[in-house]
Amino acid sequence: MNQKSLADWAMETRAVHAGRTAGDRESRYIPTVPPIHPSVTYSYGRMEDLDEAFAAGGYVYTRHGNPTVAALEEAVAALEDGEAAVAFASGMAAIHAALLAAGARAGAAVVAARDLYGATYLLLDRLLRSQGVTVRFVDGTDRAEVEAACAEVRPVALLVETVSNPLLKVADLPALAEIAHRHGAALLVDNTFATPYLVRPLALGADVVIHSATKYLGGHGDILAGVVVTSAARREGLMEVLKTTGANLGPLEAWLLLRGLRTLVLRVERQCASALALARWLETHPRIRRVFYPGLPAHPQHELAARLFGGRGFGGIVTFELRDAGREEVFRFMDRLRLCIPATSLGDVQTLVLYPAHSSHRGLSPEERAALGITDGMVRISVGIEAVEDIQADLERALSPHRK
């Protein structure tokens, strides 16, 4: 099955088959599961063949390319409707490389949504700024503000998250693509929270899609990985960055990630359904002040999310604020959980509960967090694939301080 025929299949089918035959096209048999190629280097029968492999981008050294990693890249590209993908050692390495490849260097400018994942915000605000990049943060849901910033600084890139972390704001990707392109910028979209199951940003005008594959793509909390999906032409720039900075994904991780991808659709379907049920329940709970979830009609971008995600769901993350609570009350609530795990990640099969103020956004000052709307009573749940009744019962018990 090649990429061309894959494009004819539904997302469920692509997730199961994509990348299966990559890397081993020469052999007479095709394993149903791609093999793991741990070799760092490759030899050829004749020096001319090795020379040709160097010239044609064949396998010569694993930092330049590896068959197992290539199988994963082919699979993620197929899921995101992209021409090519490049895998990295982490989501942050992928975001950094995508920004560098888009031209973020001294003298250039980047416009980015203000409420990004904490480390992405710090990468822009501290590291890239210190290297001479002009960085302008905007409210990614305010088109006029995005437009004005792009007109003023003429950025090389506009960076947004499809669904932001942890406030779950939804980006109007077609509108942002139009603004970015009119000002000569590439639209870079971190699609980690939404996954290609909910939306494929390249089809809506984005130029580059980035994943922390550590989350939903892997899905099992056992691999740190990042992937950038884009056009064949932009792949060249990413490969230059990868070859010279070396933040490569290892073949063992690539193989595990490929295995995780096979069940992406089943997992995310369940996670979206359970998250919606929990968000509706939490909204009615007396101890909850406010629930952030794009599937609730009260969410400011509910209609946009319904349109962009085509009725497939609204994601597996629910954020809420405990009523009259600060760090102390949130910590006690999290300590009382027995099933849901207080841990710093998302997208896993287990339900994970996180306190943004001390984990994902720890590196920000209290003033920076307050400006983003991240309060001390805020909790983020990454809904797993357990029975939703069990998750709800666990949350209910933890929300009731007098219950055993």
CB of 153 to ligand PLP, least distance (A): 23
Q: Among this protein's residues, is 190 annotated catalytic? A: yes
The only residue of 3, 21, 68, 90 in contact with ligand PLP, by rule CB under 6 A:
90
Nearer to ligand PLP by Cβ, of 91 and 295: the residue is 91
The only residue of 125, 161, 207, 348 in contact with ligand PLP, by rule CB under 6 A:
161
The only residue of 3, 192, 319, 351 in contact with ligand PLP, by rule CB under 6 A:
192
CA 195 to chain centre: 7
By the 10 Å C-beta count (0-12 exposed, 13-18 middle, 19+ buried), 359 is classed as middle
The only residue of 68, 141, 195, 212 in contact with ligand PLP, by rule CB under 6 A:
212
Which segment (47-55, 115-123, 263-271, 283-291) binds ligand PLP by CB under 6 A? Answer: 115-123
Nearer to ligand PLP by Cβ, of 176 and 399: the residue is 176
CB of 212 to ligand PLP, least distance (A): 3
Q: Any contact of residue 91 with ligand PLP (CB under 6 A)? A: yes
- Assign 3-class secondary structure to 29-72: CCCCCCCCCCCCECCCCCHHHHHHHHHHCCCCECCCCCHHHHHH
Active-site position among 44, 63, 259, 307: 63
Nearer to ligand PLP by Cβ, of 6 and 199: the residue is 199
104 three-class SS: coil
Q: Any contact of residue 356 with ligand PLP (CB under 6 A)? A: no
Q: Any contact of residue 271 with ligand PLP (CB under 6 A)? A: no
The token pair that represents 64 in the structure block: 């330049």
DSSP-assigned letter for residue 160: E
The only residue of 190, 207, 348, 394 in contact with ligand PLP, by rule CB under 6 A:
190
- Assign 3-class secondary structure to 277-325: HHHHHHHCCCCEEEEECCCCCCCCCHHHHHHHHCCCCCCCEEEEEECCC
CB of 298 to ligand PLP, least distance (A): 23
Q: Which residue is nearest to ligand PLP (CB)?
A: 91
Nearer to ligand PLP by Cβ, of 338 and 362: the residue is 362
Q: Any contact of residue 224 with ligand PLP (CB under 6 A)? A: yes
Do 90 and 214 contact (CB within 8 A), yes or no?
yes
Q: Among this protein's residues, is 215 annotated catalytic? A: yes
Q: Any contact of residue 214 with ligand PLP (CB under 6 A)? A: yes
Buried b (16+ CB within 10 A) or exposed e, 128-157: beeeebbbbbbebbeeebbbebbeebebbb
Q: Give whole-number Cα distances, 81 to 3, 70, 96, in Å.
A: 10, 16, 22
Adjacent-strand bridge partners of 381: 318, 353
| Distance (Å, whole) CA 19 – CA 78 | 8
Q: Which distant-in-sequence residues (6+ apart) come within 8 Å of 366 by Cβ?
A: none
Active-site position among 14, 117, 169, 287: 117
Q: Any contact of residue 97 with ligand PLP (CB under 6 A)? A: no
Q: Any contact of residue 355 with ligand PLP (CB under 6 A)? A: no
Q: Any contact of residue 319 with ligand PLP (CB under 6 A)? A: no
Catalytic machinery residues:
63, 117, 190, 215
Residues making contact with ligand PLP (CB under 6 A): 90-92, 117, 119-120, 161, 165, 190, 192-193, 212, 214, 224, 226
